[in-house]
Chain A
Amino acid sequence: MELLLPATISGLLMGMIFGLVALGLAIIFGVMNIVNFAHGEFLMVGMYTAFLTATILSVDPLLTLPVAAIIGLLLGLASYYLLVRYLLKGPMLAQLLGTFGLMIFLRYLAMSIFGPDYKNLEHGLLIGKTINWGPVVLSYSRLGTAAISLLAFGIIYWLMNYTRLGAALKATALDVEAASYMGINTERMRGFAWALGGATVGIAGALLTNFYYVFPTVGLLFVMIAFTTVALGGFGSIKGAFIAGLIIGLIIDVGATYVGPHHKLALIYLTYFLVVVLRPQGLFGW
């Protein structure tokens, strides 16, 4: 029991970040039925942006959030207008391998610029401080980043459900043709989905830099977690991404205390297989 409680809490906190990472993937898939394999690399770009901004300008990592969000947004827009727009015309194979190419390009670009080293931030408002609360040791960075993820989720939820923009986005997701008859610029909505996806994952990256190492291949681990999260929550569902993120966080942290940290990844893949075989539409998918 004394292991279970801290693992549960840390799993839930981590789960909020996983949810935020998966959110962009869910939005993009929901709007245009394409899986962005480069999503993990978007996260990596967000992490490097935050890391570099924080070290070069020597500001607190939390202040790098807007920078990472803007860079992520621009990256999403560039990917859509320069690549994905053309991929959508081609067959499935071209769509999958096209974004896969983007993933490899970004990864090796980072590798050739920054080298394969692991880097981490050592100074910051949240870094290195903990609260001891009985058996539970909570770090400020986990708590703070979880709170900001929650806030980001709230904003996106509001945007999608209570604004005209969100309604237009959802209409595009449900039926492109009908949406365009209603006077919605569906092309712009798709670009907007990529911008939103890029910005949210950029924020997630900047948050992760508070307590996680930055390295060029960091994307692969998180993108596999994000795929599992999105498959569990249902491709295209925001509520699903949030709840599935919490579940995945619990599976990873609680599972790791029982089966050992080396098998964390196997747990994620097992979850993925079980979900896609037993309930392919996910918890909240349509």
Chain B
Amino acid sequence: MPASERICFILFVIFCLVFPWITKGSFAQAVMIQFLIFCLYGLGWNLIGGYGGQVALGQAKNVGMSAYTVAVLMVWWDIPFWVSTPLGVIVATIESFILGYFLFRLRGHYFAIATIAVSLVWQQLFINWNLIGGARGVELPLRETPNFLYMQFDSPVYYHYFAFLLVLAAILYMNWFRKSKLGYQLRMINSSEDMAESLGISIHWVKVKAYCITGVFAGLGGAFYTVYYNYIDPFSVMHLELSVMIALMTMIGGAGSMWGPIIGAMILIPLDRYLGAWLGGIGIVGVDFMIYSMMVMIISAYEPKGIWGIIEKARGKR
């Protein structure tokens, strides 16, 4: 990491570590945990969307696959979190692999539209699939005492630190990834597919691999989401809107830079929660989405590298 990013990283770590001790409000803590979950989703999406430049609008189905696996295993067979999470991540990854294998035959617009179509099919399927709760969703059984095996705690502080550990691992992984062979190959594909092909990079295979890693990130996020909220439904973990939100968030923060998704989540999640709570109270819906879409339009038109791009530009000029 360059020195400037190291400062960002240290500040971020300190902020996350002390956060539960400086705030007492449970709403603020819930927003913080949601921010961490979206960091995880966004860091994963950034891999294929930002570094790879592939507009895959289907992060929600990876999240949902894993969340549903964890929830169903826990409700039906009482399988602990630590066993069901790897299974959930594997399901999400396999799903990503199969879909990626077929969808990455398509390029550009065709690919983006196809991922939307797949997301809509999955969303519809899960809403109508009564065996796993359909539109009502799945509720996890509440346990009387805090239980580490099932990740049920009496204080949000534990969830906060667990989510923070996941995000920390994701950041460190991304830091390694962007200097790895796969990272360079992916960026090459983003800048020119033809040139990447002429350099002997197997485009299809690299994209599929990156898409699987995206699935792992989303799978971890989905599994954590399930045990944190104790309840999932297709609208919260399987919906196209979630995929859209993740993509817009990363785009605003800066697609293709490590801190982009984190900056995006830092702006959008508190905005969404506080604005939603305030506007929902006076009965206005959809203003939050209008603000994000305005931001994403401005960012895409004037600074496609997002807020991180603006920061880098400002530093370069100094």
A interface with B by C-beta (< 8 Å): 29, 35, 83, 86-87, 90-98, 100-105, 107-109, 111-112, 116, 220, 224, 227, 231, 262, 265-266, 269, 272-273, 276-277, 280
Tell me which of B50, B248, B302 contacts A101 (CB under 8 A). B248
- Assess whether A94 is in contact with B287, with CB atoms less than 8 Å apart: no
Report chain B residues within 8 Å CB of A266.
121, 124
Within 8 A of A (CB), among B36-80: 49-50, 53, 55
Q: CB of B106 within 8 A of chain A?
A: yes
- Assess whether A105 is in contact with B113, with CB atoms less than 8 Å apart: no
State in angstroms the CA–CA spacing of A100 and B302 once bound together. 16
Within 8 A of A (CB), among B113-148: 113-114, 116-118, 120-121, 124, 128
Given known pairs A83-B297, A92-B53, A92-B108, the reply for A224 and B290 (CB within 8 Å) is: no
State in angstroms the CA–CA spacing of A273 and B304 once bound together. 30
The closest CB in chain B to the CB of A84 belongs to: B301
B interface with A by C-beta (< 8 Å): 49-50, 53, 55, 102, 105-106, 108-110, 112-114, 116-118, 120-121, 124, 128, 190, 244, 247-248, 251, 255, 284-287, 289-290, 292-297, 299-302, 304
- Assess whether B289 is in contact with A108, with CB atoms less than 8 Å apart: yes
The closest CB in chain A to the CB of B112 belongs to: A96
Report chain B residues within 8 Å CB of A231.
110, 113
Given known pairs A97-B55, A100-B244, A112-B290, the reply for A272 and B117 (CB within 8 Å) is: yes
Report chain B residues within 8 Å CB of A97.
55, 247-248, 251, 296, 300
The closest CB in chain B to the CB of A86 belongs to: B301
Tell me which of A90, A112, A262, A277 contacts B106 (CB under 8 A). A277
Q: Least Cβ distance of B133 to chain A in Å? A: 19
Q: Least Cβ distance of A85 to chain B in Å? A: 8
State in angstroms the CA–CA spacing of A98 and B296 once bound together. 6
Q: Least Cβ distance of B19 to chain A in Å? A: 31
Q: Least Cβ distance of A44 to chain B in Å? A: 14
The closest CB in chain B to the CB of A216 belongs to: B286
Tell me which of A83, A105, A224 contacts B116 (CB under 8 A). A224
- Assess whether B120 is in contact with A98, with CB atoms less than 8 Å apart: no
- A-B contacts counted at CB < 8 A amount to 120
- Assess whether A224 is in contact with B293, with CB atoms less than 8 Å apart: no
Given known pairs A90-B304, A276-B106, the reply for A105 and B297 (CB within 8 Å) is: yes
State in angstroms the CA–CA spacing of A86 and B299 once bound together. 10
State in angstroms the CA–CA spacing of A36 and B295 once bound together. 18
State in angstroms the CA–CA spacing of A111 and B116 once bound together. 21
Q: Least Cβ distance of A133 to chain B in Å? A: 35
- Assess whether A224 is in contact with B120, with CB atoms less than 8 Å apart: yes
- Assess whether B114 is in contact with A276, with CB atoms less than 8 Å apart: yes
Tell me which of B121, B289, B292, B300 contacts A94 (CB under 8 A). B300
Could you name 25 residue pairs across A and B whose Cβ atoms are closer than 8 Å?
A: A35-B109, A35-B112, A86-B302, A90-B301, A92-B53, A92-B108, A93-B49, A93-B50, A94-B299, A95-B300, A96-B55, A97-B300, A100-B247, A101-B292, A101-B297, A104-B290, A105-B290, A108-B287, A111-B285, A112-B286, A220-B120, A224-B116, A231-B110, A272-B114, A277-B105
Q: Least Cβ distance of A89 to chain B in Å? A: 8
Report chain A residues within 8 Å CB of B121.
265-266, 269
The closest CB in chain A to the CB of B251 belongs to: A97
Report chain A residues within 8 Å CB of B248.
97, 100-101, 104
Report chain A residues within 8 Å CB of B55.
92-93, 96-97
- Assess whether A109 is in contact with B290, with CB atoms less than 8 Å apart: yes
- Assess whether A227 is in contact with B113, with CB atoms less than 8 Å apart: yes
Report chain A residues within 8 Å CB of B285.
108, 111-112, 116
- Assess whether A104 is in contact with B113, with CB atoms less than 8 Å apart: no
Given known pairs A108-B293, A112-B285, A112-B287, the reply for A273 and B251 (CB within 8 Å) is: no
State in angstroms the CA–CA spacing of A220 and B119 once bound together. 13
Q: Which of A35, A94, A227 has the largest count of B CB atoms less than 10 A from its CB? A: A94
State in angstroms the CA–CA spacing of A101 and B143 once bound together. 43
Q: Least Cβ distance of A162 to chain B in Å? A: 30
Q: Least Cβ distance of A262 to chain B in Å? A: 8
- Assess whether A101 is in contact with B294, with CB atoms less than 8 Å apart: yes
Given known pairs A96-B55, A101-B297, the reply for A111 and B286 (CB within 8 Å) is: yes
Report chain B residues within 8 Å CB of A272.
113-114, 117
- Assess whether B114 is in contact with A273, with CB atoms less than 8 Å apart: yes
State in angstroms the CA–CA spacing of A98 and B248 once bound together. 9
Given known pairs A96-B109, A224-B116, the reply for A108 and B290 (CB within 8 Å) is: yes
Q: Least Cβ distance of B191 to chain A in Å? A: 9
Report chain B residues within 8 Å CB of A273.
114, 117
CB-based closest 3 A-B pairs: A98-B300, A108-B286, A86-B301
The closest CB in chain B to the CB of A88 belongs to: B301
Q: Least Cβ distance of B91 to chain A in Å? A: 22
